[in-house]
Amino acid sequence: MKKFIAVSAFCLLAFAGCSSGAPSGGETPEKAVAIAKCLEDKGVEMYGAFWCPHCKDQKKAFGSQAEEFIPYNECDARGENEVSETCIELEIEGYPTWIFTDGSREERVLPLTELQEISGCSDAEIQKYNVTSQE
């Protein structure tokens, strides 16, 4: 019985980190895609590094369907499609760093609802991105 409990606990812990690719903040995948597209259209930028666990958390908040639409900039020169010189010029010091069109910055993982609010991507505005369901 102890062995069964130990194996069950191991399996539970091993699979706890697995995800279906759905957004982690409670938004639908469609709304997460719409928010990512709106951020991009508004000129909001995310700066990070491929090895950064907080950047991975931020991307996970969007879910796998929205990942390609996140306005992401790679700051590590070893990363794919890197823009390390831009990151130096912008004095990016922590990851992830979000830079908004008004010049303000947030150096942390942000919930999608907060990104939506700070960027001015209203629910009415993101409807133009063909959102099929909203909460």
Q: Average pLDDT per run of 10 along the chain, which is 135 residues long?
A: 44 34 70 96 98 98 96 98 98 98 97 96 88 47
Which token pair is 78?
Answer: 């070893």
Which token pair is 28?
Answer: 């639908």
pTM for the whole structure: 0.77
The pLDDT score that the predictor gives to residue 2 is 53
Q: Does a structural domain hold residue 120? A: yes
The pLDDT score that the predictor gives to residue 27 is 81
What distance in Å separates the CA atoms of residue 77 and residue 116, rounded to the nearest whole number?
29
Q: Does a structural domain hold residue 53? A: yes
Q: Does a structural domain hold residue 17? A: no
Q: Do 63 and 29 form a contact (C-beta atoms < 8 A)?
A: yes
Domain span including residue 79? 22-129
The pLDDT score that the predictor gives to residue 12 is 34
The pLDDT score that the predictor gives to residue 22 is 53
The pLDDT score that the predictor gives to residue 129 is 86
Which token pair is 16?
Answer: 């706890």
What is the count of structural domains for the chain?
Answer: 1
Q: Does a structural domain hold residue 78? A: yes
Q: Does a structural domain hold residue 3? A: no
What distance in Å separates the CA atoms of residue 94 and residue 105, rounded to the nearest whole number?
11
Q: Does a structural domain hold residue 51? A: yes
Could you tell me if residue 100 is left (phi over 0), alpha (psi between -120 and 50 degrees) or otherwise beta? beta
| φ, ψ at 9 (rounded to 5°) | -65, -40
Which CATH number belongs to the domain containing residue 101 in this structure? Answer: 3.40.30.10
Q: Does a structural domain hold residue 98? A: yes
Q: Does a structural domain hold residue 9? A: no
The pLDDT score that the predictor gives to residue 23 is 58
